[in-house]
Structure 1
Amino acid sequence: MKQLKSLVIAVVLFIGAQASAQTKVAHIDVQALMTSMPDMKTAQEQLKKIQETYDKDYKNMVTEYQTKLQKYEQESATAGDALNETRSKEMQDMGARIQQFQQTAQKELGQKELDLIKPIMEKAQAAVKKVAKAKGINYVLDSTTGSGVIVADGPDLLADVKKELGF
């Protein structure tokens, strides 16, 4: 832990020394930029609709499972062993299908999120690069909370990048 602190301090001092040697450093809160982009809001709405569809299908499957389970439990005393065994196997298969559906839905939703967000991130990065180049900035640090930037006294490019993106 002490080594990490020493490394961070050394990096900050190095960046500070480089900044004083005509190297310009700026920062931007990438998370704030991304969440304020209209494209991101549209992507989040699409993801929400997909999530709602998956949730509805999942709930229907679980309801069907519970209904059959309750019916089979009520009839188990009067049904024969062979029928009870068949029903038990059916319920196990149905439970496995529900689990498989849930896993597939999560995987597909995650992939859809990546597919929707990747072009938005690329658009934001291109705008940051363009603004930094126009302002003569050599380095742009991500000042999102928790990103590791300790001091962010340099210019903040958020407003300029938003302007570049047209919002």
Structure 2
Amino acid sequence: MKQVKKVAVALVLFVAATGFVKAQSTVAHINVTELLSAMPEMKAAQAELQKLQETYKADIESSMTELRNKYTQYQSEASAKTKEENEKRAVELQGFERNIGEAQQAAQQELAKKQAELFQPISEKAMAAIEKVAAAQGIAYVMDSTQGGGLIVAKGKDLLPEVKQELGF
């Protein structure tokens, strides 16, 4: 009877251990940052953002140049003007500086909004491809192996090649 119990316990432990190993095999990883940066749509979106950023930068630099020119002009004419005119000009320059600061903030907000608008569909497409590849391979969990993303050891299956193939590149 003791032999039967020992065999039964050994069998239960064996089944539990193989179940645990099987559960571990349903985990994979992918470097999402690498995937996104390799996607052609991402490169096009980044180029569009760069172009928009350069446009905003040129506009703000133009305004800064105009401000410096007015400042220089007002400084050179200050001795020929009355105190009230100089004060009025100082207030005008401060308003101009404030407008430039507001334009910089608006540009940053517009860039962030445009980035979110451009990157969201790309990210959704990548996630759908990851989910499709994982489901096709019977993988229950996919971890992001991007550096600093919390994954310490990546000895499991890497889905990056299959997801790239799914996306067509």
Q: Normalising by structure 2, what TM-score?
A: 0.87
User: Does structure 1 residue 22 correspond to structure 2 residue 41?
Assistant: no
**Structure 2 gaps, min length 5:** 1-17
Report the equivalent of 1:52.
54
Q: What is the CA distance between 1:33 and its match in structure 2?
A: 0.1
Q: What is the CA distance between 1:19 and its match in structure 2?
A: 5.6
- Does the C-alpha gap of structure 1 residues 154 and 82 become closer, same or farther in structure 2, counting only changes over 3 Å? same
Any runs of at least 4 consecutive aligned residues in structure 1 with deviations exceeding 6 A, and if so which? Answer: none
Alignment of 1:91-110 (within 5 A): 91-110=93-112
Q: Which amino acid aligns with 1:46?
A: E
1:64-105 CA distance string (max 9 Å, x none): 000000000111111111110110110010000000000000
Determine the C-alpha separation between the residues in 1 that align with 2:101 and 2:167: 42
- Does the C-alpha gap of structure 1 residues 56 and 46 become closer, same or farther in structure 2, counting only changes over 3 Å? same
Report the equivalent of 1:115.
117
| Aligned alpha-carbon RMSD (Å) | 1.3
Q: Normalising by structure 1, what TM-score?
A: 0.88
Between the aligned residues of both structures, percent identity stands at: 47
Alignment of 1:48-87 (within 5 A): 48-87=50-89
Report the equivalent of 2:164.
162
Corresponding residue SS for 1:136: coil
Q: Which amino acid aligns with 1:87?
A: R
Would you say how many aligned residue pairs link Structure 1 and Structure 2? Answer: 151
